[in-house]
Structure 1
Amino acid sequence: MKFHVSLFVIISIILGIKLEGCRCKVVQFIFGDSLSDVGNNKYLSKSLAQASLPWYGIDLGNGLPNGRFSNGRTVADIIGDSMGLPRPPAFLDPSLTEDVILENGVNYASGGGGILNETGSYFIQRFSLYKQIELFQGTQELIRSRIGKDEAEKIFQEARYVVALGSNDFINNYLMPVYSDSWNYNDETFVDYLMGTLREQLKQLHGLGARQLMVFGLGPMGCIPLQRVLSTSGECQDRTNKLAIRFNKGGSKLIDELEKQLPNSSFRFGDAYDVVNDVISNPNKYGFQNSDSPCCSFGNIRPALTCIPASKLCKDRSKYVFWDEYHPSDRANELIAKELIKKFGFITVHQTNPPSPSPTLAPSSNH
């Protein structure tokens, strides 16, 4: 009898360890463009959308380029940190293994990528959302072969998902006459085309287990420095901003519909357009001094599409809304993230885990 009890205890311990080994924490899977890229394009050697040059990453970790198109963190970084979630590494990171995926999730975001496959083709290499979903399917196969189908299904259903694309579909597709979409659609029908495509992509993600998913809306993309400098007046481009508003209305409606249709889904749409527009219109109110030009610029030669080693940095990086011609600064991303956290009502997932390290921001250093 004692033997059977001992055997039962030993088996329970073994099973307990096995279950504990498979019972992974909640992780994130991030799908996006350069606003969320943490290094995928760094490994796409032919891609023209690169953040692998100094001064990118100057205010994060060791201050070296890390693949983020900013001086510091992305909005997804900051939201994940606030929830106690680990920061997922880039899918193309050479150190990515099954264990790393189980511990941290994966980020598939790619600079220049869009909801549509044709978007950003002149960047040569980038992952569209369909491609990112395809890579996610490959990730799932790896994890299933590692821990079994049932345990893998549980992990993928408990994970958090971020989908944050759309601006490239306008700026690096529809609004450029070199793309056929610019003459095949008008403003209304193009947004309908985007929404129809996004609907299928989100349904596909749900079919792959995505239950808790957030879609980020677009900010006033007509006010990014690149759009201003390309306008004759230097003002925000009204048509581009109206397209962002139209996208956000369509996206919000789409998410409401999908949440009703798809079983066990908790889909949310995060629209921070108004607060970002207010920051750009009234920068001093939020502690910024500049909201119309990039902190990292190549003197009077504009637009220099990326921050380059020969670029000059602004005196105080915490006072600029934009880091380069396209992308917000770390401090602006923090403000956007806080607005989305408030709107989403996020709660901490891992109460015992401290957030990932914040950047070592040195805003007053002069270069």
Structure 2
Amino acid sequence: MDISYFMLISLAAVARTMVGENASVPALYVFGDSLVDSGNNDYWYTTIKANFPHNGVDFPGGTPTGRWSNGYNTIDFLAAMLGFKSAPPPFLSPVKDTSQGANFASGGSGILDTTGPTTIPLRTQIKFFRSVAQNLRQQMGSQQASLHLSKSLFLISPGSNDMAAYYSGAIGPPNEKRKQLYINTLIRKLENHLKHLYHLGARKFWIQGLYCIGCSPSARTKTPSGRCSKDANDMAKRFNAAVTQLLDHLSSTLVGMKYSHANVFNMMSAVLANPNAFGMKEVRSACCGGGMDNAQLHCTPTAYLCPNRKEYLFWDFVHPTQAMYNLVALQSFHGSQTFATPINLMQLAQT
């Protein structure tokens, strides 16, 4: 496997040294889409699942876990860096110990309820979390539970499927007015979701920005030249800018709210500009799939599987490889303001 369990343990040891023994991060609560989902859809009434090969080929035992990855995803790496023995379990899984957090994310879901209608939208994910928060208050008492939640990290990956819905034509033909209206709608809904989490006790937020969605293998197959879609990338940048503006506003108006915004767009742009610097060679085609750039067929047990997965940026038609997930985690955790603003996750954990 490309990144072993022992690598995760070593990362955790280094991270604990960097964060300090006195850092108090009691739990991780994860929300969002397939970029951070660890298997909730396996227990949900949806056909959008990743519980089959070749997914998980580099996970310990080569087991599909419901992650859209050849192995681990960003949350696994961040959990290790923060000193946890493992990432928080999927909320819907049989594992019901949520003392150190839970993962509520659902592949295919969005900020809007209408995005990925058979998956678990962000609104419902937060509803699930509310039950966890209520249980914590019953078990710990209101004051202790509030302290626990205020020191915990809330990790959120919003917007990628909402953008996919926009470019699928479901929202109508793209034009400048419709673009801005759509982004405004997403930001209003996201603001409501973040405020809801805040009122349930969340104080420390890590928000993952959109990557270069116009450079995914899927997006490239839709451009005449096979190059990145400038329009889609511009839309991602506009959304990211609006999210950071929202976070600035909320952190100045909601007492005690702090955040770190992961600029995944800049991270991926750096890899695309100089793949060799990051140990990668193939940044255009998917590792697993079929057709043009291996992006016209999904990653299934009978699909093509590249042998050199650590050299690929993309695992399938839209999802990164474990190698890219690892890079996102590293730069989110202790990266400069080019990649994490206004502070990185390590600094957020120390506040």
TM-score per shorter chain, which class?
0.7 to 0.9
Deviation at 1:302, TM superposition (A): 5.3
Quote the Cα distance in structure 2 between the aligned partners of 1:118 and 1:186.
17
Would you say 1:315 and 2:307 are equivalent positions? Answer: yes
Q: Which residue of 2 aligns with 1:27?
A: 27
Would you say 1:101 and 2:101 are equivalent positions? Answer: no
Identity of aligned residues (%): 32
Deviation at 1:42, TM superposition (A): 1.1
Contact kept? 2:291, 2:297, Cα under 8 Å: no
CA distance 1:187–1:49, change in 2 (3 Å): same
Q: Cα deviation per residue 1:301-353 (whole Å; 9 max; x = unaligned)?
A: 954453100012112111100011010001111112212121343339999xx
Would you say 1:43 and 2:40 are equivalent positions? Answer: no
Q: Identify the match of residue 111 of structure 2 among 111, 115, 125.
A: 115
Larger-gyration structure (1/2):
1
CA distance 1:182–1:146, change in 2 (3 Å): farther
Q: Which residue of 1 aligns with 2:193?
A: 201
Q: Identify the match of residue 261 of structure 2 among 249, 263, 269.
A: 269
Q: Which residue of 2 aligns with 1:254?
A: 246
SS at match of 1:204: helix
Q: Which residue of 1 aligns with 2:68?
A: 69
Would you say 1:130 and 2:130 are equivalent positions? Answer: no
Contact kept? 1:298, 1:310, Cα under 8 Å: no
Q: Which residue of 2 aligns with 1:78?
A: 77
Deviation at 1:152, TM superposition (A): 2.1
Q: Which residue of 1 aligns with 2:9?
A: none
Quote the Cα distance in structure 2 between the aligned partners of 1:90 and 1:196.
27
Q: Quick one: which amino acid aligns to residue 51 of structure 2? A: S
Q: Which residue of 2 aligns with 1:87?
A: 87
Quote the Cα distance in structure 2 between the aligned partners of 1:153 and 1:64.
37
Quote the Cα distance in structure 2 between the aligned partners of 1:324 and 1:206.
35
CA distance 1:184–1:332, change in 2 (3 Å): closer
Quote the Cα distance in structure 1 between the aligned partners of 2:176 and 2:142.
44
Q: Quick one: which amino acid aligns to residue 70 of structure 2? A: N
Would you say 1:156 and 2:149 are equivalent positions? Answer: yes
Quote the Cα distance in structure 1 between the aligned partners of 2:171 and 2:35.
22
Contact kept? 1:31, 1:108, Cα under 8 Å: yes
Moved over 4 A (4+): 180-185, 299-302, 348-351
Structure 2 gaps, min length 5: 1-23
Structure 1 gaps, min length 5: 1-23, 352-367
The RMSD of aligned alpha carbons is 2.3
SS at match of 1:293: strand
Q: Identify the match of residue 242 of structure 1 among 196, 221, 234.
A: 234
CA distance 1:299–1:186, change in 2 (3 Å): closer
CA distance 1:245–1:307, change in 2 (3 Å): same
Quote the Cα distance in structure 2 between the aligned partners of 1:327 and 1:57.
13
Q: Cα deviation per residue 1:119-176 (whole Å; 9 max; x = unaligned)?
A: 123xxx21111111111111122223333333222222221101111111011x2112
Aligned residues: 319
Quote the Cα distance in structure 2 between the aligned partners of 1:241 and 1:349.
28
State how 1:182-193 maps to structure 2 within 5 Å.
Answer: 186-193=178-185
Q: Which residue of 1 aligns with 2:17?
A: none
CA distance 1:181–1:27, change in 2 (3 Å): farther
Q: Quick one: which amino acid aligns to residue 193 of structure 2? A: Q
Quote the Cα distance in structure 1 between the aligned partners of 2:179 and 2:305.
37
Which has the higher mean CA deviation after the structures are superposed, 143-152 or 249-258? 143-152
Q: Which residue of 1 aligns with 2:54?
A: 55
CA distance 1:66–1:185, change in 2 (3 Å): farther
Quote the Cα distance in structure 2 between the aligned partners of 1:271 and 1:25.
22
Quote the Cα distance in structure 2 between the aligned partners of 1:73 and 1:134.
26
Q: Which residue of 2 aligns with 1:139?
A: 132
Quote the Cα distance in structure 2 between the aligned partners of 1:82 and 1:55.
27
SS at match of 1:68: coil
Quote the Cα distance in structure 2 between the aligned partners of 1:255 and 1:350.
17
Deviation at 1:57, TM superposition (A): 1.1
CA distance 1:176–1:25, change in 2 (3 Å): closer
